[in-house]
Amino acid sequence: MLQLTPKLDERSKEALYHQLYRYIQGEMIAGRIPAYARLPSIRRLAEALGVSRTPVALAYDQLLAEGYVISKPRSGLFAAELEISNRTQVSERTSATPSPSRAYHASPTETVRYDFGYGSIDVHHFPWTKWRRLVNQCLLPENNRMLLYGDWQGEAELRRHIAEYLHQTRGVRCTPDQIVIGAGTYHSLDLLFQLIKREVTTLAIEAAVNDGVKSLVEQYPFTCIPIGLEEDGISIHDVIHSTAGAVYVTPSHQFPFGMTLSIGKRMKLLKWATEHSAYIIENDYDGEFRYGTRPIPSLQSLDESDRVIYLGTFSRALGPAFRLSYLVLPPSLLDRFWKKQHSYDQLASPILQKALLLFMQSGDFDRHMRKMRTLYHRKHDALLEALTTHFPSSANVIGAGSGLHVLLQPGNGMDEAELVRAAEHVGVKVYPTSVYALSSEWALPATVLLGFGGLAETEIRAGVGLLAEAFRGSD
Ligand SMILES: Cc1ncc(COP(=O)(O)O)c(C=O)c1O
């Protein structure tokens, strides 16, 4: 039996479970816990360490979520096989039918009672009063500079705050100089493609992607290679055989299928990128919302070779209407940005950038994020609970645990279009997923997408109740 002997410090500010999680993770990376070794049971380890079972269970949950360990039914937990580059020391850093276009957007109609639109966020808990004050403050005559063009990389002080925020929440390591503020994910991605289009001829891309990403990629002369999606994220085998110069991934919560890229695959992907001087384009569009386990460190935070280009948005944290996003460029691409190898000036409004800066400086942004995480966590749990209550155990829920959407496979014999129509019939809007697949072979059969950000918990429960009825109708 594997002996685990961490030094746990009850007086430390770091939670016990996190100390234990870090210890096991470090032992695995150092090779002292070999692949396939069986971990002691929660009860045994808790007894051996003289702690309650809770911190042990939480540590195991986190390791499981990150793919450090795998669970075998009725056998327990086992160390996963990791591929660690010898330059990478993870443990030090981790502390720290409808129209295919815009198919995820809610489109309220009079007959829709519950819209599980993916692009929706909770608008009722937005700090309206604070934001009115902040925007007013920016529009005082003494701030008349706000009416002019801003810094073409984005307001410098805002970039400093974003760098800090990304470091604290996603482990991203960058200087404010590496950040380029954009007007939404597609603007940022477009700008990036302009920077790499002469260097990268073949682009590997997840076999199912957001429709905006799909149409953007089509506008460039890249040879596009779809990469298969497995339970623990993209197929590394496919990436290795793609001969691509860059790969586009959504590792925290694959869009739309919802899986998380395991730590073993993260390491392999980084190794591939380093060995082939390829780029990894990491779209972390909803990585700030993870429920039950700590947020998984971004790929950028594990990168030792400046191969990762990190991309994020404020569309989930604040709202898509802000049109604020950011790129974190590795130094080589930054140089190209500064040499203006792209056709954009700054597109994001300096007024909103300044207001966001004030929001961050006051500490209100952190408070808002804490509140929203709790709120979305509750909605997520309400949705899962309602699905468990109303649907038979044969129904399958995919992609739970993070972000603002899950996928549902009711398994009732209806195809995707029938599911969408049956839901509409009872006043509920759910969304097809096949539109996101690069070709039909990559689509999930009879699967619909349910976004939960924009609905109240009561609405989620009522909506799922109606859905269950509608989906039972064809039995
Ligand atoms: C994969 C993905 N990235 C990014 C976004 C957000 O895009 P934007 O920043 O343009 O609002 C979405 C949302 O709809 C998405 O699905």
The secondary element (H helix, E strand) that includes residue 192 is: helix 185-196
Closest ligand 1 atom to residue 313 Cα is 9
Residues in a beta bridge with 182 = 325
Nearest to 317 by CA among 395, 371, 262: 371
- What the block records as the tokens of 107 is 């489109």
Provide the pLDDT for residue 111: 83
pLDDT at 94 over 50: no
Provide the pLDDT for residue 84: 53
Mean pLDDT of 15-22: 88
Distances (CA, A) of 132 to 150, 177, 356: 21, 30, 12
**Bigger pLDDT: 461 or 97?**
461
CA nearest ligand 1 atom 7, residue: 185
- Is the sign of the CA dihedral 37, 38, 40, 42 positive or negative? positive
Cα-to-centroid distance, 169 and ligand 1 (Å): 19
- Going along the chain from its start, the domains and CATH numbers come out as 1-81 (1.10.10.10), 114-121+366-472 (3.90.1150.10), 128-361 (3.40.640.10)
Q: For the chain, what is the total number of helices (H) and then of strands (E)?
A: 16, 17
Those residues whose C-beta lies under 8 Å from the C-beta of residue 450, and which sit 6 or more positions away, are 116, 383, 405, 406, 407, 408, 430, 431
Those residues whose C-beta lies under 8 Å from the C-beta of residue 74, and which sit 6 or more positions away, are none
pLDDT band at 327 (very low <50, low <70, confident <90, very high): very high
Closest ligand 1 atom to residue 255 Cα is 1
Cα-to-centroid distance, 70 and ligand 1 (Å): 31
- What CA–CA distance (Å, rounded) separates 430 from 468? 12
pLDDT band at 83 (very low <50, low <70, confident <90, very high): low
Q: What is the pLDDT of residues 416-448, one digit of tens each?
A: 999 999 999 999 999 999 999 999 999 999 999
Q: Among the residues of 9-88, which ranges form H helices?
A: 16-29, 42-49, 53-65
Q: Tell me how many degrees the CA angle 77-81-87 measures, rounded to the nearest 5.
A: 130
Cα-to-centroid distance, 304 and ligand 1 (Å): 27
Helix orientation angle between 331-338 and 185-196, rounded to the nearest 10 degrees: 90
Provide the pLDDT for residue 106: 45
Cα-to-centroid distance, 87 and ligand 1 (Å): 33
Whether ligand 1 lies within 6 angstroms of the CB of 186 is answered as: yes
Q: Determine how β-strand 223-227 pairs with β-strand 202-206.
A: parallel
Mean pLDDT of all residues belonging to the chain: 90
pLDDT band at 296 (very low <50, low <70, confident <90, very high): confident
Q: What is the pLDDT of residues 114-134, one digit of tens each?
A: 999 998 999 999 999 999 999
Provide the pLDDT for residue 293: 76
- What CA–CA distance (Å, rounded) separates 148 from 138? 12
Provide the pLDDT for residue 97: 36
Helix orientation angle between 364-390 and 350-361, rounded to the nearest 10 degrees: 90
Q: Indicate the burial class of 359 (C-beta count within 10 angstroms; 0-12, 13-18, 19 or more).
A: buried
Q: Indicate the burial class of 109 (C-beta count within 10 angstroms; 0-12, 13-18, 19 or more).
A: exposed
- Could you tell me what percent of the chain has a pLDDT over 70? 93
Nearest to 24 by CA among 10, 7, 6: 6
Whether ligand 1 lies within 6 angstroms of the CB of 250 is answered as: yes
pLDDT at 353 over 70: yes
Provide the pLDDT for residue 349: 96
Provide the pLDDT for residue 227: 97
**One-letter amino acid identity for 421?**
R
Mean pLDDT of 44-67: 86
Instruction: Return the DSSP state at 342.
Output: S
Whether ligand 1 lies within 6 angstroms of the CB of 119 is answered as: yes
Those residues whose C-beta lies under 8 Å from the C-beta of residue 195, and which sit 6 or more positions away, are 329, 333, 336, 337, 341, 342
- 404 within 8 A of 455, measured Cβ to Cβ: no
Provide the pLDDT for residue 204: 98
Return the CA Rg of the chain.
23
Cα-to-centroid distance, 159 and ligand 1 (Å): 20
- Phi-psi region for residue 280, left (φ > 0), alpha (ψ -120 to 50) or beta? beta
pLDDT-wise least confident of 48-52, 136-140, 359-363, 379-383: 48-52
CA nearest ligand 1 atom 14, residue: 119
Provide the pLDDT for residue 22: 86
Provide the pLDDT for residue 225: 96
Provide the pLDDT for residue 473: 65
- What the block records as the tokens of 92 is 């030090």
- What CA–CA distance (Å, rounded) separates 285 from 43? 37
Provide the pLDDT for residue 131: 97
> Maximum Cα–Cα distance for the chain, whole Å?
71
Whether ligand 1 lies within 6 angstroms of the CB of 120 is answered as: no
